[in-house]
Amino acid sequence: MSLIRPQARAALWRWREVLAGGGAAALGLWWVLGGAGIVHWLGWVVIAAAIALGLAGVQRARFRTGAGGPGVVVIDEGLIAYLGPQTGGAVALSEMTALALDANGTRRWLLSQPGQPDLAIPLDAEGADALFDAFATLPGLRSGQVVAAMRRPAPGQHLLWERAGRISEQISERPRLH
């Protein structure tokens, strides 16, 4: 028998980095106020690291929408694979050309790769919270932009990221008029 309700446990787990940052900040503050010499200065370093952890944790917690949705997301060595009940596929991060959020009906990520249909991953698929770290490796994509798009209630497809050079590649493929 658990002493913590499942909903409370899920909330604590969602905000785990923020809670860890708060605990580390409390330890650092204790060292700053009660320590002397190097312990005092080490306390300031711990506080700075705790603030960074807390800020990153807030973004991660806002990204997590929960689990229990259809399918499973697996990320392994730069490959994002989605194993869904009716669809699925894989996209290499290095080959991705665009990332969009489809808010028409079921909210889902749309990952584009040349030569393949877009891979649609529901926001609440099992393991989808690991996409935060994968998306963070895309050049030029800001994590705050992704979180803000997730919170946007407007329906439609929202393009969040497109690989630089993709438009110039398309223009160079067009026939030139003289």
Q: Per the domain annotation, does 177 fall within a domain? A: no
Q: Tens digit of pLDDT for each residue in 132-156?
A: 888 888 898 888 788 787 777 778 8
Distance from C-alpha of 87 to C-alpha of 111, rounded to nearest angstrom: 14
Domain's final residue, options 19, 41, 63:
63
Q: How far is CA 137 from the centre of its chain?
A: 10
| Domains in the chain, number | 2
Both 114 and 55 in one domain: the answer is: no
Q: What range does the domain containing 123 cover?
A: 72-172
Q: What does each C-alpha distance from 38 to 43, 45, 74 come to in angstroms? A: 8, 11, 44
Cα distance between residue 15 and residue 11, in whole Å: 6
Cα–Cα distance for residue pair 87/119, rounded to 1 Å = 9
Residue 100 lies in a domain: yes
- Contact assessment for residue 138 and residue 160, using Cβ atoms and an 8 Å cutoff: no
Predicted local distance difference test score (pLDDT) of residue 49? 93
Q: Residues 43, 30: contact at Cβ < 8 Å?
A: yes
Has residue 88 been placed in a domain?
yes
Among candidate residues 15, 39, 20, the one with its CA nearest the CA of residue 28: 39
3-state secondary structure of 99: strand
Four-CA torsion 83, 84, 86, 89, nearest 10 degrees: -40
Same domain, yes or no: 94 and 35: no
One domain for residues 89 and 166? yes
Query: What's at 151, amino acid-wise?
Result: R
Distance from C-alpha of 172 to C-alpha of 96, rounded to nearest angstrom: 19
44 and 79 in a common domain: no
Q: Is residue 103 located within the same domain as residue 82?
A: yes
With contact defined as beta carbons under 8 Å apart, do 20 and 26 qualify? Answer: no
Do 79 and 167 lie in one domain? The reply is yes
Residue 36 shares a structural domain with residue 94: no
Answer yes or no: is 128 within a domain. Answer: yes
* Same domain? 89 vs 50: no
- In this structure, are 42 and 84 located in the same domain? no
Q: What is the pLDDT of residues 53-111, one digit of tens each?
A: 888 888 777 666 666 678 898 998 889 999 888 888 899 999 999 999 888 878 888 99
Same domain, 93 and 150: yes
| pLDDT per residue as tens digits for the range 6-43 | 778 777 777 888 899 999 999 999 999 988 889 999 99
